[in-house]
Amino acid sequence: MKKILVVTLIVSMITFMFAGCQSSEKDSKTDDGTKVTEEKDTKDADKPYKVAFIARAQADSFAAWLANSVMEEADKYDNITVDVFDGQASDDTENSLIENAITNKYDAIIIQPNNGEAQRPYAEKAVKAGIVTITTNARIDDIEGASSVDADPYEQAKVNAVAALDQIPENANVVVLKGPPGNFHADKRYESWKTEFLDKRPDVKVVGDEIANWNKDEAMNYMETWIQANDKIDAIIAMNDNMAAGALEAVKGNDKFKDILAYGVDGTAEAALLIKDGLMTSTCLQSAYDLAEALLDTANKLLTGEEEQIDIDIDCPLINSDNVDDTIEMHKKAGAL
């Protein structure tokens, strides 16, 4: 049975009682052979480690996919339980949730930042409190004592941009949909598109460029404005699948844009179906299943003392019409389709 738990911060934080340690006795002997009993604080072996997963925003399709995958992966570990908290795409909310997890003495905190620099000082607080701290999707670099599990956002965009060099026609009009500024993945994916495509194709004209914050509805609204102002748009360059899907929704059934190309990142179930139907050109797989597997393995190794520091990336293969069936099958096996 799928286990999906989302805890939402509304007005005040819910206080969770956490009992992670108890006193245990250890016998030793003095030099004259006398037995003495020492008390030592040790973790109760019968109680699992408690992990707080701070999700960026459950309204974001990839963030929801990742949160659900983390919960399902946690079911494989007898020594770990995970609580998922919804950051609601708000820095203030995420930061309060991190502080709450510190106060309630979680053994580990996994942070999916809304804005890495805004969450940085709170992640540092967690490390200072002696809590295992892991940042993911996107990692926050250079936090001493923290670990990370992520994918390379530059490479994620690059596999699309390189393909687009030959796919987007000469003198094309394109629109660009960005993620939130300051987000490591948003910034690096756009940098990659600029370096690997736009700078190499000076004939291409950008007729729309907006921050849609990973959000499908925002992307659809921008696209509706752009198609009213432009008779020709040849391609949608989106920094994630959710925004690409929103833009495609705006041109659905409009013959003027029936041949429009569209690029994203994540490899969501929705994007895979759009590619299968010939509506989306390509995406890059950022598998939430792989991230979740790596996150729980990393948390387990850090909590049990097997490792002290872990920083790893998952693979980022291109998904297009040639191999999209594999991604659809992956989602079907996971119950997402």
pLDDT of 61 reads 85
Three-class SS of residue 82? Answer: strand
Flag whether 92 is in a domain.
Answer: yes
Domain that holds residue 48: 6-149+288-306
46 and 118 housed in the same domain: yes
Spatial distance between the Cα atoms of 3 and 80, rounded to a whole number of angstroms? 14
Flag whether 88 is in a domain.
Answer: yes
Blockwise average pLDDT, block size 10, the chain, 337 residues: 38 38 38 39 71 92 93 97 96 98 98 94 98 96 96 97 98 97 92 98 98 96 97 97 98 95 97 98 96 98 97 96 97 87
pLDDT of 58 reads 85
92 and 166 housed in the same domain: no
70 and 100 housed in the same domain: yes
Spatial distance between the Cα atoms of 160 and 282, rounded to a whole number of angstroms? 7
105 and 188 housed in the same domain: no
Is the pTM higher than 0.95? no
Q: Which amino acid is at 5?
A: L
Cis before 138 (ω within 30) = yes
CATH number at residue 12: 3.40.50.2300
Residue whose C-alpha is closest to residue 98's, from 49, 133, 148: 133
Spatial distance between the Cα atoms of 135 and 147, rounded to a whole number of angstroms? 7
125 and 176 housed in the same domain: no
Spatial distance between the Cα atoms of 189 and 191, rounded to a whole number of angstroms? 5
Spatial distance between the Cα atoms of 248 and 158, rounded to a whole number of angstroms? 21
Angle at 161 between CA 158 and CA 162, to 5 degrees: 85
pLDDT of 45 reads 60
**Element counts in the chain: helices (H) and strands (E):** 10, 15
pLDDT of 165 reads 98
Flag whether 120 is in a domain.
Answer: yes
pLDDT of 3 reads 37
pLDDT of 23 reads 35
| Rg of the chain over all Cα atoms, to the nearest angstrom | 23
CA dihedral 69, 2, 302, 104 (to 10 degrees): 110
Query: Is 11 exposed, middle or buried, given 0-12, 13-18 or 19+ CB atoms closer than 10 A?
Result: exposed
